[in-house]
Amino acid sequence: MNRTKFPSQPGDDFLENGIIVVTAYISIFFDFFNIISTTFFAIVYVKTKTAIHLHFKFIFFHVSIFLVFRSILFFFPNFYYATGKNFFGNPSNGIFNFIHQVAIAGGFYAPLTIIEERMISALWSKTYEKWFSIKDISEENFNALGVRILNTTASICCSLCLIPFVFCDINMRQKLRCSGKNYTSCHKPLLDFQKTYIYAPSYKLNSCVIPNTLSTVMTAIMCLLYDTDRFLENNKVIDTEFSHYRSCQGLNEVRKLPALKWKENADFTSENAHLWTNVVVVREPLERFVSGFLDKCVIGTPQNQYQENCFGCKEDVSCFLRELSMAMTSPNLQKLPMDTHNFFPQSWYCEMGKYMYNNYTILKYSQDETEVFWDQLSSVFRKAEIPAEKINLIKDQLIDKDAKHSTFGITDQEKQILQQLTETENFKLSSFAINSNIHDSPPVFSCFDENYDYCHKPLLDFQRIYFYAPSHKLNACVIPKSLSTVMTAIVCLLYDTDGFLNDNRTINKEFFHEGFCDNLNEANRISALAEKENANYTDENAHLWTHMVVVRDPLERFVSGFLDKCVVDKIWRKWKRSCFECKDNLSCFLKRLDKTMTDPSIRKLSMDTHHFVPQSWYCEMGKYMYNNYTIVRYSRRDPEGLWDQLSSVFRKANVPEEKINIIHDQLVSGETRHSTFGLTDQKEKILKELHEPKNFKLFLKIYYYDYMLFGFPLPDIGTGETQ
């Protein structure tokens, strides 16, 4: 059937979705009622020839209710439209039904029992078809209900993207946050939607291209590097290449990063994979949307050739945004027509959930800062050991020219689109639709197949604690159970090295609430640093500061926290409500943690939530994760890797080598007071319980996005081992 999906734009009353489902089932009920009554009276008439008056009374009741029901659909067209005109039948069919029933009641169909029998057969066939279609309607509309009321999991600021998002920098910031009543309105990040890689094996360079994000230019550059002589001999130039008629079409591209191994001309192996540079260009989201809309829906007017392009909205921005948001909400609509190909969020491309942190060099592009972009791009080329003459050749072809799809300089049309975008409802929609991200997980576990909105959303601004060392312009946000005690002590040592050492303090023996620097060098927001006199943090020197945060393998962090608080220390003996009143019962603990994260009314800061909510809920990650933080990943499996990262941060902050050596010596000298290292028997018991399918699925529901956002390998449900 040709049904239109439910209206899913933010701001719709979720009751609408429920009513759509209810009315669909009522329609099925009336179909069965119609079949039974029609069959009954056809049989009675054939047998007795005298059932006309009884039939009339019964049908009068039937038709009355039937017409009331259709009137509801007629006067509330949103329901009628959302479930699809063909599902309930159009108004003319309703009138025909009415005439048909009255005719039966009046006896005018007495000679036509054969037609009546055929009609009964047709009704059965139609109802049978509806019964199987109703499953789709239920799933689609209850998915929308889930987005609004069932999975109340986390808030997510509309600055959730790879670069700053203009919509969150205006006075409407509070209205546009995906929190409070609308906190489920923003689309989730890192869906594995589409990926196209173009490679140049001579330089071990691979570029994933994102539509409307210099994709044509990057494809042409990679072609030039793939076979420079052929490119130039054919009189090709970077800015006039076209995606579907390019010189290297089909020669140097793959659809998945691992597929490079199967391309003979790529010379990509497991042994040399670490030598490759993988690059992806991302673009300022507002600029990308306006450019794409201008190119596809205003200038190119593809709707003249392809009526369904631009979602059939032509140049109507409001219509386009509603349809785009709808397409992103329903898994059934996430196909690959031109519209979704060009307008879905950038983090839905390039397998970002797997490779964003560990593999990609991310280049940020804005049309207002082409010089900055060229600096980033040329740096990548030099890293890939591309000869200077080729870099200059690319620069000469690139600078001061526009690609075939360029919309640069179309200021009047841009202003018109921007004016439509800034209308309140469009502004909300564009925030939710343009600036969002989602991931389709590895096959072991998925949050988006049948359970589209199953996992808790990332980047809730739940808690943040910063410690600073102004002499080194170093600021660290600490996350509980992620080396928080150690990092607090390290920054304290850097804040006042002489005082720390003269007081016979050591990093491993410091305690959070009894630290040497207690309350001296901490803030609860990055912006609050400017208010601290001893921080010497100003707008003028802010760019000189290094902001860092340590994140930990989520499984290690959870087991360490549960073991420390609920098994070893048994803090529930002193504070009865701690450990969610579950004592050392892991299943109970996970269920109540999940419930607490789901319900905003009980999602408060407590000892339990402080230690166990996801790491992406800390440190204002939604604002600063991509632009400000140096993220250090920690796992007990790789302590040397942790130190390499930490020492690199310290050198970046100009910490003297003698201080770095002191930190190193104290770090390797022993465990912290909260350490659970060595409690192998108890850990094994917890891991065994955690590996029970129900527990592990709940664990992944809670921490899925910590794995995705921070680049930790997702564990296997069966073994708990990482993939």
Work out the burial of residue 20: count CB atoms within 10 Å of its CB; fewer than 13 is exposed, 13-18 middle, 19 or more buried.
buried
The yes-or-no verdict on residue 40 having pLDDT over 80 is: no
Q: What percent of the chain has pLDDT over 70?
A: 60
Check residue 344 and give its pLDDT: 86
Is the same domain home to 378 and 423? Answer: yes
- pLDDT tens-digit map of 605-620: 888 899 999 999 999 9
- 55 against 391, higher pLDDT: 391
Most confident of 428-442, 489-503, 686-700: 489-503
Q: Of the given ranges (300-314, 456-470, 549-563, 606-620), which has the lowest mean pLDDT?
A: 300-314
Q: Of the given ranges (266-280, 290-304, 462-476, 677-691), which has the lowest mean pLDDT?
A: 290-304
Using pLDDT thresholds of 50, 70 and 90, give the confidence band for residue 205: very high
The mean per-residue pLDDT over the stretch 191-217 comes to 91
Using pLDDT thresholds of 50, 70 and 90, give the confidence band for residue 456: confident
The strand ranges marked E within 215-334 are 253-254, 277-283
Check residue 137 and give its pLDDT: 44
Is the same domain home to 544 and 625? Answer: yes
Residue 595 lies in a domain: yes
The yes-or-no verdict on residue 404 having pLDDT over 70 is: no
Check residue 714 and give its pLDDT: 80
- Mean pLDDT, all residues of the chain: 73
The mean per-residue pLDDT over the stretch 186-212 comes to 87
- pLDDT tens-digit map of 228-237: 999 998 888 8
The yes-or-no verdict on residue 429 having pLDDT over 80 is: no
The strand ranges marked E within 179-258 are 197-200, 205-208, 253-254
Using pLDDT thresholds of 50, 70 and 90, give the confidence band for residue 176: very low
Q: Of the given ranges (89-93, 183-187, 253-257), which has the lowest mean pLDDT?
A: 89-93
The yes-or-no verdict on residue 428 having pLDDT over 80 is: no
- pLDDT tens-digit map of 138-175: 444 333 333 322 222 222 223 333 333 322 222 333 33
Is the same domain home to 384 and 482? Answer: no
Q: Could you give the number of structural domains in the chain? A: 3
Question: How far is the C-alpha of 423 from the C-alpha of 421, rounded, in Å?
Answer: 5
Q: Residues 350, 438: contact at Cβ < 8 Å?
A: no
Is the same domain home to 106 and 230? Answer: no
- Residues ≥6 apart with Cβ < 8 Å to 425: 9, 11, 318
CA angle 591–596–599, rounded 5-degree value: 120
Check residue 287 and give its pLDDT: 86
Residue 87 lies in a domain: yes
Residue 458 lies in a domain: no
Check residue 588 and give its pLDDT: 96
Check residue 147 and give its pLDDT: 30
Is the same domain home to 373 and 482? Answer: no
Is the same domain home to 99 and 216? Answer: no
- 422 against 146, higher pLDDT: 422
The mean per-residue pLDDT over the stretch 72-86 comes to 41
Question: How far is the C-alpha of 704 from the C-alpha of 446, rounded, in Å?
Answer: 9
Torsion of CA 708, 710, 715, 717, to 10 degrees: -40
Residue 470 lies in a domain: yes
Using pLDDT thresholds of 50, 70 and 90, give the confidence band for residue 707: confident
**Which of 255, 249, 248 lies closest to 227, judged by CA?**
248
Question: How far is the C-alpha of 199 from the C-alpha of 146, rounded, in Å?
Answer: 41
What are the two backbone dihedrals, phi and then psi, of residue 342, each rounded to the nearest 5 degrees? -95, -15
Is the same domain home to 428 and 279? Answer: yes
The yes-or-no verdict on residue 374 having pLDDT over 60 is: yes
Residue 418 lies in a domain: yes
Check residue 149 and give its pLDDT: 27
Residue 249 lies in a domain: yes
The yes-or-no verdict on residue 560 having pLDDT over 60 is: yes
> Three-state DSSP class for 634?
strand
The partner residues of 618 in beta bridges, in order of sequence, read 463
- pLDDT tens-digit map of 298-332: 876 544 455 567 888 888 888 888 888 878 776 66
The mean per-residue pLDDT over the stretch 641-650 comes to 92
CATH code at position 567: 3.40.50
- pLDDT tens-digit map of 206-263: 999 999 898 889 999 999 999 999 999 888 888 777 666 677 888 999 998 889 999 9
Is the same domain home to 470 and 337? Answer: no
Is the same domain home to 260 and 318? Answer: yes
| Among candidate residues 116, 150, 184, the one where a domain is terminated | 150
Is the same domain home to 503 and 552? Answer: yes
Is the same domain home to 273 and 334? Answer: yes
Residue 461 lies in a domain: no
Q: Of the given ranges (14-28, 130-144, 522-536), which has the lowest mean pLDDT?
A: 130-144
Residue 283 lies in a domain: yes
Check residue 15 and give its pLDDT: 47
Using pLDDT thresholds of 50, 70 and 90, give the confidence band for residue 437: very low
Question: How far is the C-alpha of 289 from the C-alpha of 596, rounded, in Å?
Answer: 37
Check residue 421 and give its pLDDT: 56
How is residue 447 written in tokens?
Answer: 């949050």
Question: Which pTM value belongs to this model?
Answer: 0.50
Q: At what angle do helices 680-690 and 586-598 cross, to 10 degrees?
A: 60
Residue written as token pair 């209206």: 7
Is the same domain home to 490 and 619? Answer: yes
The mean per-residue pLDDT over the stretch 362-366 comes to 87
Check residue 297 and give its pLDDT: 84
Check residue 303 and give its pLDDT: 43
Using pLDDT thresholds of 50, 70 and 90, give the confidence band for residue 371: confident
Domain containing 46: what range? 14-150
